[in-house]
Amino acid sequence: MNLAEAIRLRDPSRLPSRRDENWRWTDLRSLVRTLPEASPVLDSGRLGSGPFEGICVTVVTLANGVGPGAIEVSAGETRTLALRNVSRGEGSHAAHLRITVAAGARLTLLESHEGDGGGLSLLSLEVDLAAGASCERLVIADGGVDAISLVDADIRLGAGAEWGQTLLTNGARRQRLETRVLNPGDGASVRLDGVYVLSGRSHADLTSSVTHSGPQGQTVQLARGVVDDQARAVFQGRITVETGADGTDARMAHNALILSDRAEVDARPELEIYADDVACAHGATVGALDAELLFYMRQRGLPEAEARSLLLASFLGEVIDRIQCAAAAGRMRGWLQGRIGGSVE
Interface ranges with other proteins (CB under 8 A): 290-293, 295-304, 306-307, 310-311, 313-315, 317-318, 345
Q: Is the separation of the CB atoms in 117 and 145 below 8 Å?
A: no
Decide whether 310 or 328 has the Cβ nearer to other proteins: 310
Decide whether 274 or 296 has the Cβ nearer to other proteins: 296
Decide whether 190 or 319 has the Cβ nearer to other proteins: 319
**CA 11 vs CA 14, 20, 82, 313: distances in Å:** 6, 17, 32, 42
DSSP assigned state of 43 = -
Q: How far is the CB of 245 from other proteins (least distance, A)?
A: 33
Dihedral sign, Cα of residue 138, residue 95, residue 117, residue 149: negative
Decide whether 281 or 293 has the Cβ nearer to other proteins: 293
Decide whether 1 or 302 has the Cβ nearer to other proteins: 302
Q: How far is the CB of 329 from other proteins (least distance, A)?
A: 15
Q: How far is the CB of 325 from other proteins (least distance, A)?
A: 21
Q: How far is the CB of 266 from other proteins (least distance, A)?
A: 25
Q: Is the separation of the CB atoms in 251 and 219 below 8 Å?
A: yes
Residue 5: its H or E element:
helix 3-9
Decide whether 143 or 194 has the Cβ nearer to other proteins: 194
In sequence order, what are the beta bridge partners of 157?
A: 129
DSSP letters along 125-182, please?
EEEEE-TT-EEEEEEEEE--TT-EEEEEEEEEE-TT-EEEEEEEE--BSEEEEEEEEE
The values of phi and psi at residue 243, to 5°, are -55, 130
Q: How far is the CB of 321 from other proteins (least distance, A)?
A: 9
